[in-house]
Structure 1
């Protein structure tokens, strides 16, 4: 057990989960806890009060729902342990237990978790909308019914017929609510069947009362654990600063629990990625509390929101289903090697065209090659064989693969390893275990099957359910945003059990030759190198000591802004650290952080309209209800402006705010719209200059107005919110963006965005040093922030600190910003300042830890331009060496591998040639000759 526990401790995926602020470490804890608890029950199963362990498991399962649903996948293994302990195994019982275990899993996942909240919501809706009672009446009533069912059931099973009628009445009321909440004949029929079965059991099976008691207690404790979700409702009603989706009542909580923002995907039957849509179906409407009317009103009818696909393009077990991105489709064709079957269809314009429908075999090929091979077994091998690096891999031989350290095996899969670039081998996640953990685990598996086949099946089932079953359920698309190995840590936990049993197998074998105690000690000594090598190899890439990158980067973003500013962010990575800095460390709580993606939700815009921390409410022209769900989700742009002059943006917002201006555009409902494609934001130049928003260097460049053209025929709610803020703010509060390219779906703002430190300030000044998508730069202000004010970048230059992949990626932004500052200083002839900015960048983000790439060629250009040839030469040779290593690796590959990298080979040679030319153009002939010599040497080889 000691060796197995250490192996899991040092397994790549679990270790990663343990040191990250995520839910998967706690999920692993619950999986281990419930599995341990059923083994404790197994030891005392014949004792009088052994059922307490089953009830404990039920409570832990309920609690774990609030962490992650992965823990539920231990239920089938737990069910089989119960079966093997209580019954004599046979095929009939074995299969029936399997059915029961899946039914229990489905009951919790698709019954208890969504349906309890759904019943609360439906009862609340009926009591308020149909009976005219106050809000929360239905919620309280159903809570009373649910508690009555549990209490009366326990009293009936303990004290007998005295409480039978109470129990029956509670059950009948519960099932009336259940039947009333169903839609469709089948749903009603299933609900009636369940209700009838429960009532029959109560009336007829009196001897089953102890079992019924245990079932009711277990359900009660699952619900007690599940009730931890009430924390969300309490927080939502307290209006906390961070209140995602605002699940303040049963109706909104159900949407939150169903993760509706993530969409749905087919599982057992569904469409291929190129299936034509032939119709649309309706979904259930979304209701929202309306305080004014005292009822729940339909916020979104969701009519015609579910596509119906051509049945010829539907399949069982659909794996290649997503048409969300072209990259998904390309990957399906690549991994599935699709040739397909031609099918003629009639498209929306009435013309016929031929589409290639993948075959079921190609569908399975994608499943085995990508979903199983690439997205599961590759991760499995990372944990028990070795890992190439922490760079995301997409099927190539350079990045993200498993690697063993055994040369002939690795070279057969990944090409020549002797010439694998040295800088890539220095990646902290370059870990080699030489198959030792895998071999010991396989020994343990075989030993387990021979000694205890029933127990080995239970562990195998746990291994399958927390691994391959998740792969099947998630049905992942290609090009996931990050590696997903942490999802399968439960599966690796199960395999670690076999690693532990491998030691027992060695001990049993050694007992044939030496004494038992000596055999046990020797077996541990033989096996100890397995966790040792895992810990030794994995220590550097999992060590988070002294690293404060997330916090320091958040501080850098916030400290780049002026007081009471509005800072628009775009994704999770540039939002969550800022929330942490404000919420936990109370740093720059005057800045209002606005996540542009979340602003498509009404709940988020409503939160922006109130004071948070020390930040005043955001200015809006539209009323709060005009941002409610179903209102202005999409706003049409109808160009009625015939004047030839742009319309003031504030007048457009007033136009939209006036409900009388809505029109019916043929959809049968009145819609808001923007009546002009060209808009203008006016500027009170004197007031703006006096406000302190404009940097001194730009005060003579302030424009009297900014003109924009709306690029699309419609905008979304978050675009509308941005326009509202731009119009209503009227330059009173500074507005910043973490990235101008990610924001502004309606209009292009980047021409008026100026880099200041880590953020881009929106100003009534045309950008100088303009780069499309990145705007311009306030050179002096930016220099002051990056060079003089920001001094802490997560200790990434500390030799003790590991630069993980996420931190590596994030350093690209400040590096780019330091380069832009240096370029601006060069343009101004301030060479000393330019060199200082570049030097600081390399001091904070040294190339010895954060390896340079082609985008750092600008460092060479800038050092030369800033009259620092020695530093330019050093950087030129360092970059040339990196590209030389890449070129050498590509040239050393066999044709079956090198054919994939023809473009990369050409690029590496070109980059070296370019560096040589830049050196020569700046009079550094010796540097140029060295690089030319490197190129000739590599090409001659």
Structure 2
């Protein structure tokens, strides 16, 4: 047994070194795309990332960044090394898990034979190395993401319960349970995926301590479900919710400082645990003592979130959701900014809301107390458009067609036929009926709902990824169901041909894609053999691994309830399921070894089988995956950030929209300190009050944005959207003042002729004050007042009383009406429109906010413009005002804030769009864009050039492209641009 322990230890560390070397050789040397740039930035300066945060990962990352010393360009690679090391340790614990499970096949033997030792160690090596070189896990190992560290927690807690299993009857064995609880609590600060191991851990405990019965198994399932659900849905949000109630009482009720209630609750909670643990220990209540200790360890680990609150209170440059109080933290942990996917019951995608109700109010932090606010509203639907287990739920218009495709729905059962003015059906180009998707007539059947679930959510969004890892992968081109993009393949021609058609005649860019990986289904088959063998040899352990496999795979599919057209591949979410399958791959070798040894009784037999298995399973996986997983020379994301920022002029405001045009830029500014004068503004976040508030702060070299609204004007639930309604008379004075030169001659002519008519009447003699007021308009012309006077004199009673020329005054009145209409219909100065929108106008009292215009002007006085605003080559197309119209009837808070900035900026700072931003956000300003490399700058020029979205600054572009751009080594043949 001592030899086994030593061999198990040495071999495990040997596998660890192999995986570590592989990962260190293939990690990316700088930031990657997606969340990596944000994670590196938040870890380096302990800032607050996107909900629900990852404080433990942040602290670990901060520790690793210390090894970069003073070289900020090495910060990113130290974070990537954290992922590589976490992944290698995951492999180590996977090896020890497999050897533990396989060794139990030999527990009846007093002494392990040489062949048995080779089989056990070989099983661990085959399974661990197969997972080492698996597609999804290897990819995560090369970048600064939470999934490698989350996998490590999963591996450690599962291994720890197996360590407990070995010594369950010994004194102090429960210390392993306490360790597991603490690791579970800490894992909450990395990712919730680790909690899905709880049911498997419960069953290890149950099978070890009790004789299995049907009743006992059902009870264990219920207990594991209660613990898992209790932590996710009660403990994590519940502690914060209770703390917020204490906070409200202490601050608003007792007038104590902010956080006093939360601190008191924390002390009360810890004191209660200490008292309970002491009491149960003194009374010898072992089970209750263990339960309280375990729960206390979970809470201690969960308290890592205190660092999120502390750093948010410091108002760091990255402070997403601003969770600096308990109410904001509750929203942060619940990911409220992302909305909710219905799981058990809810509306289908074609449902139309019948009413809107305010959700429960929350509170925001004021100067001295918390103020109640309704942050969001909830749509209510007709119950006939709802159903149980709704898989097709997203009401985004672009998803409807995908639901129809994947669910094989009959559109005629869902929508009314489109009809022309005469009521005749409108047909498509092929003679088919077309349907009006704004007029639903029915909902999908439950069978169609399940068809979508199995075809898309299970088949495409889970089994496809599973097969990527254990059968083969067509390419790394993201697909949405196409035959040529992102499917799984086997490398076995007749199988691939039956599913996807002939693969030999594909275009070169697909066939020669480096992610065209063929494993010939060998890892899959070995895993299936292992699962069957495991079932035969140890039924209890088989069901434990199967439970882990299900909960980290299909259970996640059910919980996520993903809509179609996902912005990126989601295979990383199922790494735990692939981990569990790798256990069966290892056991698969044990099955082959058993079978071969029964035929040829020699200790060399398992050696021979091991060599072959290592060659055809992890060996093939390593060979096929190396070229597309080697990121060792890739600087693409960093180079893109460099080029985006370097396309901007000094002190620019740059609008971005997604992860990949934002997070790398955040990294480059926060970590490497490049172009911190540029303010990156993510339009997706600009709908949130906390983000708008942060935009009003000065950070580094970037001044506050020109936003002139106070927090009470943009708090969530207030001015979240506005209707655009041309409203007569609201801004007529402002329109006149701006267009005075245009309208003044006619206005003065009407005034002069009207005054002459009044002079010849009895008005000066009988009503000298009224006449004097009209005369005063000569020096301060006011079209509204003049129109009011003329309307007064246009009544027959007044005409007769003052002996006024009726026909003459009616003529001038008609002229004035037409002039008022022209002024009223003219373009409105944008700043005046936004000032009205932010006012306390009584028409807003019911919460229905509107912009009283759809046509806007941004003045551009050439005498006040800096030289950079209109480069020399565009002087011929320069205009003294930017005129634009918005055709949309509703604008949301993000674009309303953009209008606010445009109105206040006065051309002092460059305002630009990233070229990656959707044209839906352009506000019809395209004719006033100047393209400057990767950005589109708004300028007082007018040029209709739809091919290039405005004008092109060729001089500026040449200078940047040829002398200042960073190309990230794309010419290096060693680099694979996935």
Cα distance 1:267–1:780, how it changes in 2: closer, same or farther (>3 A)? Answer: same
Q: Name 1:934's counterpart in structure 2.
A: none
SS at match of 2:205: helix
For the pair 1:683 / 2:860, whether they are aligned, the reply is yes
Match status 1:719 vs 2:899: no
Contact 1:268 1:316 in 2 (8 A): yes
Aligned mate of 1:396, from 462, 482, 496:
482
1:74/1:788 CA distance change after superposition, 3 Å: same
* 1:567 Cα deviation after fit: 1.3
Measured against aligned partners, the alpha-carbon deviations of 1:217-269 in whole angstroms (never above 9, x if no partner) come to 11111111111111211111111111111100110001011011111122122
Paired position in structure 2 for 1:526 = 612
How do 1:664-679 residues align onto structure 2 when only pairs under 5 Å count?
664=844, 669=846, 672-679=849-856
Q: Indicate yes or no: 2:482 matched with 1:306.
A: no
Instruction: Tell me which moved more, 232-241 or 690-699.
Output: 690-699
Q: Name 2:406's counterpart in structure 1.
A: 335
Mapping of residues 20-31 of structure 1, within 5 Å: 20-31=143-154
**Matches of 2:245 and 2:628, distance apart in 1:** 50
Give the 3-state SS of the residue equivalent to 1:356 in structure 2: coil
- CA drift at 1:676: 2.5
State the alpha-carbon separation in 2 of the partners of residues 744 and 493 from structure 1: 42
CA RMSD of aligned residues (A): 2.3
1:236 aligns with 2:312: yes
Give structure 1 stretches of 5+ with no counterpart: 161-206, 346-350, 805-941
Query: Does 1:83 find its partner at 2:206?
Result: yes
Aligned residue number for residue 139 of structure 2: 16
Matched, 1:212 2:388: no
843, 851, 854: which is aligned to 1:663? 843
* Secondary structure in structure 2 of the residue aligned to 1:511: helix
Matches within 5 A, 1:659-808: 659=840, 661-664=841-844, 669=846, 672-688=849-865, 690-739=866-915, 742=918, 745=921, 747-767=923-943, 769-771=945-947, 774-790=949-965, 792-804=966-978
> Shift of residue 783 of structure 1?
2.2
Tell me the equivalent position of 1:605. Answer: 692
Task: Tell me the CA shift for residue 436 of structure 1.
Answer: 0.8
Give me the whole-angstrom Cα distance separating, in 2, the residues matched to 1:332 and 1:583.
41
In the alignment, does 2:303 pair up with 1:227?
Answer: yes
Cα deviation, residue 353, structure 1: 7.5
1:623–1:657 CA contact under 8 A, matched in 2: no
- 2:502 corresponds in structure 1 to 416
Given that 1:555 and 1:581 are in contact with CA atoms closer than 8 Å, whether structure 2 keeps it comes out as yes
1:541 corresponds to 2:628: yes
- 1:137 Cα shift? 2.4
Q: Residues 203 and 220 of structure 2 are in contact (CA less than 8 Å); yes or no, is this contact kept in structure 1?
A: yes
Q: Is the 8 A contact 2:353 2:381 kept in 1?
A: yes
The answer to whether residue 265 in structure 2 is matched with residue 136 in structure 1 is no
**Cα distance change on mapping 1:685 and 1:344 into 2, 3 Å:** closer
TM-superposed deviation, 1:712: 2.9
Partner of 2:332: 256
Superposition deviation, residue 483 in structure 1 = 1.3
Larger RCO of the pair (alpha carbons < 8 Å, separation 6+)? 2
How many Å apart are 1:645 and its aligned residue?
A: 3.1
Give the match for residue 653 of structure 1. Answer: 834
For residue 43 of structure 1, what is the aligned residue in structure 2? 166
Query: Which residue number corresponds to residue 31 of structure 2?
Result: none
Q: Secondary structure at the residue paired with 1:635?
A: strand
SS in 2 for 1:450: helix
Is the alpha carbon distance of 1:401 and 1:761 closer, same or farther for their aligned partners in structure 2, counting shifts above 3 Å?
Answer: same
Distance 1:563 1:141, change over 3 A: same
Q: How does 1:830-841 map onto structure 2 within 5 Å?
A: none
Alpha-carbon separation, structure 1, partners of 2:942 and 2:355: 48
Larger Rg: 2
* Local SS of the residue matching 1:512: helix
Are the counterparts in 2 of residues 740 and 749 from structure 1 also a CA contact under 8 Å? no
The Cα offsets for residues 608-643 of structure 1, whole Å up to 9 and x where unpaired, read as 111111111122222343222233222333423452
Aligned to 1:451: 537
Corresponding position of 2:111: none
Q: In structure 1, how many angstroms separate the alpha carbons of the residues matched to 2:938 and 2:412?
A: 53
CA-to-aligned-CA distance 1:833-889 (integer Å, 9 cap, x gap) = xxxxxxxxxxxxxxxxxxxxxxxxxxxxxxxxxxxxxxxxxxxxxxxxxxxxxxxxx
Instruction: State the SS of the aligned residue for 1:373.
Output: helix
Correspondence list, 1:861-940, <5 A: none
| Matching residue within 446, 455, 469 for 1:369 | 455
1:295 alignment partner in structure 2: 369
Q: CA deviation at 1:320?
A: 1.7
Cα deviations by residue, 1:317-354 (Å, 9 ceiling, x for unpaired): 221222223x3222222222224895999xxxxx9987
**CA–CA separation in structure 2 for the residues paired with 1:740 and 1:541:** 26
Q: TM-score, normalised by structure 1?
A: 0.76
CA spacing shift, 1:569–1:275, aligned 2, 3 Å: closer
Change (3 A) 1:795 1:670: same
Alpha-carbon distance in structure 1 between the residues aligned to 2:923 and 2:415: 40
Q: Is the 8 A contact 1:769 1:777 kept in 2?
A: no
Contact 1:740 1:760 in 2 (8 A): no
Alignment-derived partner of residue 67 in structure 2: none
Q: Measure how far apart 1:745 and its partner are.
A: 4.3
* Contact residue 680 and residue 707 of structure 1 kept, 8 A: yes
Give 1:476 shift.
Answer: 1.1
Equivalent position to 1:625, from 696, 704, 712: 712
Distance of aligned partners of 1:372 and 1:301 in 2 relative to their CA distance in 1, 3 Å threshold: closer
Aligned length: 742
Q: 1:376 to 1:306 in 2, by over 3 A?
A: same
Q: 2:353 aligns with which of 277, 281, 284?
A: 277
**Is contact 2:358–2:374 with CA below 8 Å preserved after alignment?**
no
Which of 535, 559, 564 is residue 646 of structure 2 equivalent to? 559
Measure the CA separation in 2 of the matches of 1:399 and 1:353: 34
Shift of 1:75: 0.6
| Gapped regions of structure 2 (runs ≥ 5) | 1-123, 417-435, 733-820
CA–CA distance in 1 between the matches of 2:601 and 2:916? Answer: 73
Instruction: Say yes or no: does 1:247 pair with 2:323.
Output: yes
Q: Structure 2 matches for 1:791-870, cutoff 5 A?
A: 792-804=966-978
Cα deviation, residue 150, structure 1: 0.5
Check conservation: 2:718, 2:847, Cα contact below 8 A. Answer: no
Q: Give the equivalent residue in structure 2 for 1:882.
A: none
Deviations 1:694-748 (A, max 9, x none): 2221234421111122323332221222122112221111222113863674831
